[in-house]
Chain A
Amino acid sequence: MAGGLSPAAALPTEVRTRAARRRSPAVWLLLGPPSLVLTLLFMLPIGLVLVTSITDPRMSLAHYQRIFTVPLYTHVMLNTFVTSLVVTALCLVLGYPVAYVMARRSDWVSTLLLTIVAMSFWTGFLVRTYAWLVILGSKGPVTGAYQALGLGPAPQLLFTSFASTLGMTHILLPYMILALFAVMKKIEPDQLKAAASLGARPRAAFAAVFLPLSLPGVVNGSLLVFVSCLGFFVTPILLGTPRDMMISQLINQQIEELLAWGFASAVAVILLIATGLILVVYNRFAGLDRLWG
C-alpha cells in the first residue's frame, strides 16, 4: 500500500470528524449495552461489598476501626505489604538477567528462554503450587536430600511464609520477565555500540546506557508483581501458615469459618483502596495504558 498519498489522508480533518459526529448514535449502540452489563454485573457487586462493609451487621465504621487497631489485623496488613515487597524484589533480581539475555541475543538461547518463560506463564497457578507442595513436602526431594546427607531432621519447609514467598515468586516471575523484556527489546543495540566506541567498557556502558533505558520495564514489572501479590489468594493459603496471614487469607478465613460478611468486606475494601492508590500514583507519572500495553 502506498501509505502517504491515500485518499483518506487527503481528506480535511474537519470532514472526517463531521462524518464521525453525524454517526454518533452508533457509538452508543455499540458501547451502551456492554457498559450497562459491566456496570450491573461488575460495578454493582463491587459497590455492594462497600455497602456491606459499613452496614453489616449494623451501620458503623467499626470494622475499619478494628482492622487498624487490633494487633492481629495490623500484623496481617503489614505482613502482606512486606511479603509483597520481598516477592517483588526477588522477581526483579531473578528476572532481570533472564530478560537481559532474551533481549540482547537473537539466537536459539533467546528463543529457548522465551519458550520456557511462556510455558511457565501459561501453566495454571494450581499446577505450580502443587509442584511446590511436592518439592517442599515432608516426603519431597529437599527433605530426602537432607536425610541422605546425614544432616539430621530436615527443617519444616511447607506451611511457612518461606514456602508461600517462594511459590509466589515462582508464579509471578514470568510476569516480571515479560514486562522487562517488552521494554528491553526496544533498546537499540546501536546505542550500546555508540557507548563502546566512545570508550565505555561493557560494564560502564550497561550502567550508563542500558540500565537507565530499562527502568520503565523495571517500574512496570514491579508494579504488576506487587499489586498481584497484595491480593494473592491460592498460594499463601496452600503453602503458607495462618500465623503469618496475608490479606486474602484473612478474607477467606472470615468468610469460610466465621461468615463475617461485614468484616471480610471491610478488609476487601482496604485491599481495593490500596491497589487503587498505587495505580493512581502510577497513572500520574506514567499513564496506565503503558502498563497493559
Chain B
Amino acid sequence: MGLSLACLVALFLLLPIVIVVPMSFSTAISFEFPPPGYSLGYYAKFFTSEEWLEPTLNSLVIALGATALTMLLVVPAAFGYVRYRFRGKALVNLLMMAPLIVPHVVSALAYYGFLGRARLTGTHLGVIVAHGVLAVPVAFLVISATLKGFDRNLERAAMSSGAGPLRTFFHVTLPVLRPGMLVGALFAFLSSFNEAVVVIFIGGRGAATLPKKMYESIRLESDPVIAVVSTLLVSAVVLGVLVSAFLRPRGANAA
C-alpha cells in the first residue's frame, strides 16, 4: 500500500511539470489544455523576440556575476570558519546563514529600499549584489562541509616535503577541494537563476530576469510563449538530474 501511495504522489509531483511540454507546441492563443492543434509557432516567437531573449541573457549574466560574488565571499570565509577557533564563531555562522533565515519577501523589500537609495534598482549590478549575497548560505554550507572533510595531513605532507604555503595551496589543497567548490558554485548559480522574489522587486525594466518576465507575463498578458520557456527550463533540469545521477556513485543523495 505504501508503494502505490508513493507512486501516486510521484505522479502528482511529475504531471504538472510534464504538462508544459505539450503546451509549448500548442497553437492556442491562451492557456488551453489539451491544445487545439500543434505547431512550432511559439518556439519561433521565443527565439526571435527581444522581449524574451533579453531576460534570458540577463538571467545568465546575473547568475554568473552573482556566483562570482558569492564565491569571493564564501571561500575565504569558509576557510577562516572551519580552520580556526576564535571568539564570536557562532555569530559569524549566524551572519553567513542570515540570508537563508530571513524570508525572501523581507529581503526583497529591504533591497528595494536600500538599492533604490543607491540608485541601483533596475541595474544588473544591483541584482548581482542581492543575488550574490542571498546565495552565500547555500554555498557556505557546501564549501565548509567539504573543508571539514579535508584531510590536513595532505598539506602537512606537502609542507614537510618542502613546498611553501602557496605551492601547497595551489597544488594540494585546491585540487582536492575542487569538486566541492564546483558544487557550491553550481548551487549559487541555480539559486540566482531560479530566484523569483527579490528580482521582481528590484529588477525593474533594465535587469528583468526570466522568472521576473514569466511572473509579469502570467500576471499581465497570459503569453503562451511562457510554455516554451518552461519546457526549455524543464529540459535543462531533466538533463542535469540525469547527468548527475549517472556521475554519482550508486546510493548517494541526488539532491
Contact = CB atoms under 8 A, between A and B. Distances in A.
Interface of A: 1, 6-8, 17, 20, 23-24, 26-31, 33-35, 37-39, 41-46, 48-49, 52, 94-95, 97-98, 100-102, 106, 109, 111-135, 137, 139-141, 144, 170, 173-174, 178, 181-182, 227, 230-231, 233-234, 237-238, 247-248, 251-252, 255, 261, 264-265, 268-269, 271-272, 275-276, 279, 288, 292-293
A115 B196 CA distance: 24
Nearest to A129: B218
B20 A38 contact: no
Contact of A127 (B12, B86, B219, B233): B233
Interface residues of B, number: 92
B98 A42 contact: yes
Interface string B207-218: 000110011001
Contact of A132 (B16, B86, B98, B201): B16
A170 B19 CA distance: 14
Contact of B101 (A100, A234, A275): A275
B73 interface: yes
Contacts of B84: 20, 23-24, 26-27, 30
A35 B95 contact: yes
A126 B214 contact: yes
B77 A122 contact: no
A190 to B, nearest CB: 17
A125 B31 contact: no
A44 B26 CA distance: 48
Given A130-B214, A178-B255, A255 B112 contact: yes
Contact of B255 (A121, A140, A173): A121
Contacts of A261: 113
Nearest to B23: A134
Contacts of B6: 97-98, 100-102, 113
Contacts of B98: 38, 42-43, 46
B14 A131 contact: no
B79 A123 contact: no
B97 interface: yes
B13 A117 contact: yes
A244 B238 CA distance: 35
- Grouping DSSP codes into helix (H, G, I), strand (E, B) and loop, the B interface class, with mixed when no group exceeds half, is helix
Interface in B27-41: 28, 30-34
B5 interface: yes
Interface centre among A34, A115, A174, A247 (most CB of B within 10 A): A34
A46 B104 CA distance: 11
A214 to B, nearest CB: 13
Contacts of A44: 114
Interface centre among B110, B111, B201 (most CB of A within 10 A): B110
Nearest to A247: B105
Contacts of B229: 127
